Structure 1
Amino acid sequence: MQEFFSLVVALLPGLWTSILMAAASVAVGIPLGFFAGLALNSQRRWLRIIVIVLVETFRGFPALLTLYLVYFGLTNFVTLDRFASIMVAFGLTTAAYTAEIFRASIASVPKGQIEAAEALALSKTDITLRIIVPHVLNIAVPPLIGIVIITFQGTALAYAIGGKELLGSAYSIGMTNLRVLEPLLVAGLLYLLVTSLLGWMEVLADRRAERITGSTAHRKPPRKRGGSRRRPDAVAPNTRVVNIAAANS
């Protein structure tokens, strides 16, 4: 047991490095993915084609290949240290996968709310910040947490370029002590601990999204007596839009 805790303490710096790598990659990838999702819903065909090519390229490339291309390729043009290369490479991969999440979330925004905002002469920036972003966040957070889990696990690839993250630290300790199995098992437990925590957060976010967006969307709407069912596309204008218009007037 003492050896177990000593290994945990020895691997904590590597665990922290993995968390920082994942956080930096997500900080780069999620904003890029959001703008890519906006572009995929754009009416400009040329813009959609460019973004589709980029998204499919980085989704098709293995993450390790992207890491090699950034670390060994971009260094011929710009100066990037190991951590920055990992952040850029994993950020591009994260952006490619989150782009489709954001595209679907943006496409699900009720058109009635956007039309009401346009009728009130709100700018595109106000429509994006006040209507699209809150709606997208409610829907996209659960799958985005899943992407964070994958990104955190993917930081183990940093060992291929000499990164001292969790897996690299475990392997180094094992080679030093000539006992590789124990450090790797403890590293696996630490990976499992973090991913389990993130998975629990994903479940909570999914339940919250169901409460906000209404998991009753699949239920049949009630039939009014002596009348017909209300049209599903008859969405009332967003009260937030009305408040914004009142504030601007």
Structure 2
Amino acid sequence: MPDWLVLMWHSLGSLLWAGIAFTIPLTLISFALGLALGLVTAIGRLFGPKPVVLLVRGYVWIFRGTPLLVQLFVVFYGLPSVGITLDAFTAGLIGFTLNVGAYTSEILRAAIASVPRGQWEAAYSIGMTWMQAMRRTIVPQAARVAVPPLSNSFISLVKDTSLAAAITVPELFQAAQRIVATTYEPLILYIEAALIYLAMCTVLTAVQERLERRLERSGGFLEARS
């Protein structure tokens, strides 16, 4: 067996463990929190009073207009200068959540705005409150529009978590960096890390395509649940 293949085999366990223990949890938690934040932000921008609209627009403007790596550095290395010290994983979680929230808010805002006004009127005509109309009529229809771009955002987040290595989160890419520091084989280890990311994203892409086909057949989340 070639030496490079032996090295990849011996390092595979460490890389996979780093992915399972840090990359996957960081991705799932930050996307879930970011999606919730994005929904609140989108609703605030669409239906909130002017001060709220200005606040959420400023938030989206800042986090969409600055690099994610800079945001992570501000949270992890910058906040200690004002007395706020966070461990690496928490700092990464906050940074990714805020970034995801800004991007998903625009996706959700556009999806909600795409629902025809007549759907609101129909919901109100049968006695629904605003909250009921949102939950039972608007959000299910908007979800169908939002699923493809949200899925793309999630897949991008899987790859973006490699930036957490820069703030010492021991995720998959940093695990590769640590092995490189002892083996001096950067090409082999970084290709191996890239292949693992590729495998994860390939699986997620297949899930996304299957979900989109199901939504097309069912006509949306309401029909899929009924």
- Bin of the TM-score, shorter chain as denominator length: 0.7 to 0.9
Picking from 38, 44, 54, the partner of 2:49 is: 44
Structure 2: which amino acid aligns with 1:119?
A: S
In structure 2, how many angstroms separate the alpha carbons of the residues matched to 1:191 and 1:43? 39
Is contact 2:107-2:149 (8 Å) kept? Answer: yes
The equivalences for 1:161-180 within 5 A come to 161-180=167-186
In structure 1, how many angstroms separate the alpha carbons of the residues matched to 2:97 and 2:49? 25
Picking from 6, 12, 16, the partner of 1:8 is: 12
**1:132 lines up with 2:138 in the alignment:** yes
Picking from 68, 92, 113, the partner of 1:86 is: 92
With the length of structure 1 as denominator, give the TM-score of the two structures: 0.80
In structure 2, how many angstroms separate the alpha carbons of the residues matched to 1:35 and 1:212? 27
- Aligned partner of residue 80 in structure 1, secondary structure: coil
Structure 2: which amino acid aligns with 1:116?
A: A
Q: Identity over aligned residues, as a percent?
A: 34
1:244 maps to none
Residue correspondences, number: 216
The equivalences for 1:19-30 within 5 A come to 19-30=24-35
In structure 1, how many angstroms separate the alpha carbons of the residues matched to 2:68 and 2:38? 16
Gaps of 5+ in 2: none
In structure 1, how many angstroms separate the alpha carbons of the residues matched to 2:45 and 2:215? 23
When structure 1 is superposed on structure 2, of 78-87 and 52-61 the one drifting more is 78-87
Is contact 2:23-2:158 (8 Å) kept? Answer: yes
In structure 1, how many angstroms separate the alpha carbons of the residues matched to 2:93 and 2:83? 17
CA RMSD of the aligned region, Å? 2.1
1:53 maps to 58
The equivalences for 1:116-195 within 5 A come to 116-195=122-201
- Aligned partner of residue 47 in structure 2, secondary structure: coil
How far has the Cα of 1:173 moved from its partner? 0.4
When structure 1 is superposed on structure 2, of 57-66 and 174-183 the one drifting more is 174-183
How far has the Cα of 1:79 moved from its partner? 4.3
Gaps of 5+ in 1: 215-237, 239-249
In structure 2, how many angstroms separate the alpha carbons of the residues matched to 1:23 and 1:43? 29
How far has the Cα of 1:147 moved from its partner? 0.5
Q: Which one has the bigger helix percentage?
A: 2
* Bigger-Rg structure (1/2): 1
Is contact 2:42-2:108 (8 Å) kept? Answer: yes
Structure 2: which amino acid aligns with 1:80?
A: L
With the length of structure 2 as denominator, give the TM-score of the two structures: 0.87
When structure 1 is superposed on structure 2, of 3-12 and 151-160 the one drifting more is 3-12
In structure 2, how many angstroms separate the alpha carbons of the residues matched to 1:125 and 1:19? 33
Structure 2: which amino acid aligns with 1:188?
A: A
1:66-86 CA distance string (max 9 Å, x none): 111111233434442111110
In structure 1, how many angstroms separate the alpha carbons of the residues matched to 2:213 and 2:128? 32
